[in-house]
Structure 1
Amino acid sequence: MMTQEVIFAGFGGQGILSMGKFLAFGGMDVGMNVSWCPSYGPEMRGGTANCSVILSDEEIGAPIITAPDTILVMNRPSLDKFEPTVKPGGLIIIDSNLVTRDVERDDVTVIRIPAQDIAASIGSVKIANMVLLGALVAKTGVISVDALLESLRGHGKEAFFEMNKAAIDKGVEYANTPVMA
């Protein structure tokens, strides 16, 4: 049995819901059972946003996640809120350009990625979310990187595919780098 429960969290406008959607589509496209549950404040852009994604090879009983396997956070309030909920042995992926505090737990794996800097070097800070998503897929193996790219090709905007692919590739590269302090 393989189930991965992920919470994506940050400010509205950072592509939090899009990350979850592309992961869910990727899982669906390879025949997994998926759940995508968005949550955002009334402010939307600039307010807090998060979404829960469950991918499983079995039926999903409920879309609610209380103890995620993985969290991916793009702001400090999200780390503060969701860090305590991650399962022991879980994974926390952080945009280190935006989240400056360290994870306080020592029973989880932490990947700190300067996603804003990487995205800017590719051409737009708007694709920082794709850098982080690439790292998540590479580290968890929940779907293949190819399945994620096919999800982007099939469900995203073609005009942004090459830039998004470059961002995902950088995230994969970063996740596979042994030094993750």
Structure 2
Amino acid sequence: MLIKSFFAGFGGQGVLSMGLILAHSAMREGKHVTYLPVYGAEVRGGTAHCTVAIADEEIASPVASEPEYLVTMNQPSVNKFQNFISSGGTMFLNITLIKQPPSRGDIELIEVPATALAEEMKNIGSTNMVMLGAFIYETGLVERKTAEQSIEEFFVNKKKLIPGALTAFKKGYDFMQGRRK
């Protein structure tokens, strides 16, 4: 098994954090992992993206060409990366900020109102954790408990953010769980 995921959005939306937490979660579960962040102009407002590959055996390359999963947090990411995902793959859309979903008929689209759900919690900074919760539920790449442990570890130096991050993760996870019933 080799599963490749690609996360994209504006710098400041936490896309690199989503990828890193997923990578750490998979490592906690004994899987082989590569994490490749792209540090270009990802200052707030610029584009940021990262790739995460998870496998049962060693991974030859950290580059995730034609990923099975693509998480897009804004419209420019959809426009730029929609043709990057493999045919038959799944694209997650932060539908609050994406008004023109891709027109490809060969991929599954999963619309998550991540920004709106974070705004309901009065915690816009946790939009990425909402999306990560939805992603983990839908893909099953790692166990929920493992992801929650990785979130706590990720924010260990910012302990005051842990409760909000976990609540946001749960909100996204529960959103997908309710959507699938």
Which deviations, in whole Å up to 9, do the C-alpha atoms of 1:114-161 show, x marking residues without a partner? 111110111310101111111111111100111100101122232212
Segments of 5+ residues of structure 2 without an aligned counterpart are: none
Computed over aligned residues only, the root mean square deviation of the Cα atoms, in angstroms, reads 1.4
- Say if 1:12 and 1:40, in contact at 8 Å, map to a contact too: no
| Greater displacement, 157-166 / 90-99 | 157-166
2-structure distance, mates of 1:116, 1:160? 17
Segments of 5+ residues of structure 1 without an aligned counterpart are: none
Residue 102 of structure 1 corresponds to which residue in structure 2?
A: 101
**96 and 138 in structure 1: CA distance in 2 versus 1, 3 angstrom threshold:** same
- 2:92 maps to a residue whose letter is I
Residue 19 of structure 2 corresponds to which residue in structure 1?
A: 20
What TM-score comes out, normalization by structure 2 length? 0.93
2-structure distance, mates of 1:43, 1:57? 31
1-structure distance, mates of 2:11, 2:148? 23
- Say if 2:78 and 2:101, in contact at 8 Å, map to a contact too: no
**166 and 43 in structure 1: CA distance in 2 versus 1, 3 angstrom threshold:** closer
- Say if 2:134 and 2:172, in contact at 8 Å, map to a contact too: yes
> Is 1:153–2:152 an aligned residue pair?
yes
**84 and 116 in structure 1: CA distance in 2 versus 1, 3 angstrom threshold:** same
1-structure distance, mates of 2:88, 2:179? 18
> Is 1:47–2:46 an aligned residue pair?
yes
- Say if 1:88 and 1:108, in contact at 8 Å, map to a contact too: yes
Q: How much identity, in percent, do the aligned residues show?
A: 35
What TM-score comes out, normalization by structure 1 length? 0.93
2-structure distance, mates of 1:50, 1:177? 28
Give 1:43 deviation, angstroms.
5.2
2:104 aligned counterpart, secondary structure: coil
Residue 36 of structure 2 corresponds to which residue in structure 1?
A: 37
Task: Name segments (4+ residues, structure 1) moved above 4 Å.
Answer: none
1-structure distance, mates of 2:45, 2:26? 29
- Say if 1:111 and 1:175, in contact at 8 Å, map to a contact too: no
- Say if 1:97 and 1:115, in contact at 8 Å, map to a contact too: yes
Which deviations, in whole Å up to 9, do the C-alpha atoms of 1:29-56 show, x marking residues without a partner? 1111111111132352211100011111
